[in-house]
């Protein structure tokens, strides 16, 4: 099982620290680093900066938000980052949600699964060096007169070097999106994942892969969580409850929250519904108190070295190929120390020790 890390989805205010983190992760043997895209930095520019500071670490967009770029621009950005990194780029796509897509970008949030599939199909054609002609629900290339074009558009072929093997990952949570991920993507960027309920996610991915004549073994299953070494698991769980309450209550609406729905499907429906209701009604402290300690522990990797080794083994046994490490620490140094200890455990686990 490989390891990956990520940059904060909020503002990066110290780029030297970001560089220290990337270089440190590379030295520790981390496979990839992913840059988030919410409403602070875009996902591509930080990677271009860090690519120049490293030599072996892979970099992924975690994620480019579907609909905020044309498929051709997604492909052009991916090919540029892949070329400048010497083949170290991983294209991550995700739908985000209506709060961000409509609130921040002013774009209609419509049929996100189909939209993601079309972007993947167009990117594949461009990566393969094909002349670009495509007709879908969201995108027609070249744009015809019937769909609002001038009729002067021309089917073009990318002038960049072809990269047919550039991996495409999808961040998905709902059953239909997971099925599409299995059918079309090279990797899955998962969250809200409990190892004991892994089939909630893996079955639709497996079904999608088999529908396309593939196997789930062809797909990099990448999930993870906070890693914290501590003798006081209960206290560590308490400190993580506010972030889980925020994810369940704030990252969506009363009627649509992909994270909350994912936890519901894994056996926490009553608890999640109560947390979400309290948060949306403005009772934030009460919502945080309602987060079950067991739920936090099951979705995180916290405890002694022995506890963490056991939990990482559970992820591996569940079918996870890449563990997305969220190393605990108040500083870059502390986070790298946590990451170093985690990598030692992963090395032993992979060696069968």
Inside any domain, residue 350: no
Residues 242 and 29: their CA atoms lie apart, in Å, by 31
Q: Are 24 and 336 in contact (CB under 8 A)?
A: yes
3-state secondary structure of 120: helix
Inside any domain, residue 349: no
Inside any domain, residue 347: no
Q: Are residues 193 and 296 in the same domain?
A: no
Q: Are residues 212 and 245 in the same domain?
A: no
Q: Are 313 and 348 in contact (CB under 8 A)?
A: no
Inside any domain, residue 338: no
> How many domains, in total, are found in the chain?
2
Residues 315 and 350: their CA atoms lie apart, in Å, by 12
pLDDT recorded at residue 290: 96
Nearest to 81 by CA among 55, 108, 49, 111: 49
With tokens 């502390």, the residue in question is 334
Q: Range with the lowest mean pLDDT among 32-36, 83-87, 99-103, 282-286?
A: 99-103
3-state secondary structure of 13: coil
pLDDT recorded at residue 14: 93
CATH code at 55? 3.20.20.30
Domain interval for residue 212: 2-227+305-330
Inside any domain, residue 118: yes
pLDDT band at 120 (very low <50, low <70, confident <90, very high): very high
Residues 69 and 115: their CA atoms lie apart, in Å, by 12
Q: Are residues 281 and 217 in the same domain?
A: no
pLDDT(11) > 90: no
3-state secondary structure of 108: coil
Beta bridge partners of 324: 4, 224
Q: Are residues 88 and 76 in the same domain?
A: yes
Beta bridge partners of 321: none
pLDDT(8) > 80: no
Q: Are residues 129 and 241 in the same domain?
A: no
Q: Are residues 299 and 162 in the same domain?
A: no
Neighbours of 247 (CB within 10 A): 21
| C-alpha 292, offset from chain centre | 25
With tokens 């070329």, the residue in question is 83
pLDDT(9) > 80: no
Q: Are residues 294 and 312 in the same domain?
A: no
Q: Are 307 and 324 in contact (CB under 8 A)?
A: no
- For the purposes of burial, counting CB atoms within 10 Å of the CB of 258, is it exposed (0-12), middle (13-18) or buried (19 or more)? buried
Q: Are residues 109 and 250 in the same domain?
A: no
pLDDT band at 252 (very low <50, low <70, confident <90, very high): confident
End-to-end CA distance of the chain: 14
Inside any domain, residue 270: yes
pLDDT band at 123 (very low <50, low <70, confident <90, very high): very high
331's enclosing H/E stretch is: none
Preceding peptide of 142 cis, ω within 30°: yes
Q: Are residues 155 and 293 in the same domain?
A: no
Instruction: Record the tokens describing residue 316, joined without a space.
Output: 């591996």
Residues 177 and 247: their CA atoms lie apart, in Å, by 19
Q: Are residues 129 and 150 in the same domain?
A: yes
pLDDT(10) > 80: no
Inside any domain, residue 143: yes
Residues 166 and 75: their CA atoms lie apart, in Å, by 10
Q: Quick one: what percent of the chain has pLDDT higher than 90?
A: 93
Inside any domain, residue 351: no
With tokens 């591996």, the residue in question is 316
pLDDT recorded at residue 165: 97
pLDDT recorded at residue 258: 86
Q: Are residues 181 and 245 in the same domain?
A: no
Beta bridge partners of 34: 6, 60
Q: In this predicted model, what pLDDT tens digit does every residue of 75-86 receive, in sequence order? A: 999 999 999 999
pLDDT band at 155 (very low <50, low <70, confident <90, very high): very high
pLDDT recorded at residue 99: 85
Residues 314 and 300: their CA atoms lie apart, in Å, by 12
Q: Are 329 and 335 in contact (CB under 8 A)?
A: yes
Q: Are residues 282 and 163 in the same domain?
A: no
Average pLDDT of the chain to the nearest whole number: 95
pLDDT recorded at residue 353: 80
Beta bridge partners of 89: 59
């Amino acid at each position: 099982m490989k390891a990956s890390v990520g940059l904060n989805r909020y503002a990066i205010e110290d780029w030297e620290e970001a560089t220290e983190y990337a270089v440190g992760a590379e030295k520790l043997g981390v496979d990839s680093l992913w840059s988030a895209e919410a409403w602070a930095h875009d996902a591509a520019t930080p990677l271009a900066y860090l690519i120049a500071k490293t030599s072996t670490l892979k970099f992924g967009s975690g994620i480019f938000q579907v609909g905020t770029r044309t498929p051709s621009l997604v492909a052009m950005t991916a090919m540029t980052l892949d070329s400048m990194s010497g083949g170290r780029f991983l294209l991550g796509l995700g739908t985000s949600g209506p709060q961000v897509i409509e609130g921040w970008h002013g774009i209609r949030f419509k049929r996100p699964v189909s939209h993601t599939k079309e972007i993947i199909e167009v990117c594949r054609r461009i990566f393969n060096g094909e002349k670009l002609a495509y007709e879908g629900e969201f995108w027609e290339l070249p744009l015809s007169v019937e769909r609002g074009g001038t009729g002067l558009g021309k089917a073009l072929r990318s002038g960049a070097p072809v990269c047919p093997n550039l991996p495409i990952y999808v961040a998905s949570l709902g059953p239909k999106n997971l099925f599409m991920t299995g059918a079309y993507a090279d990797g899955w960027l998962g969250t809200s994942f409990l190892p004991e309920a892994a089939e909630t996610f893996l079955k639709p991915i497996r079904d999608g892969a088999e529908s396309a004549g593939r196997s789930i073994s062809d797909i990099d299953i990448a999930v993870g969580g906070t890693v914290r070494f501590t003798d006081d698991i209960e206290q560590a769980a308490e400190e993580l409850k506010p972030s889980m309450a925020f994810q369940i209550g704030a990252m969506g609406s009363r009627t649509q929250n992909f994270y909350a729905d994912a936890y519901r499907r894994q056996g926490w429906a009553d608890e999640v519904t109560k947390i979400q209701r309290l948060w949306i009604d403005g009772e934030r402290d009460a919502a945080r108190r309602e987060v079950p300690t067991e739920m936090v522990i099951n979705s995180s990797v916290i405890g002694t070295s022995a506890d963490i080794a056991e939990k990482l083994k559970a992820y591996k046994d569940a079918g996870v190929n890449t563990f997305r490490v969220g190393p605990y620490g108040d500083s870059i140094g502390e986070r790298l120390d946590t990451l170093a200890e985690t990598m030692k455990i992963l090395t032993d686990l992979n060696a069968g020790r």
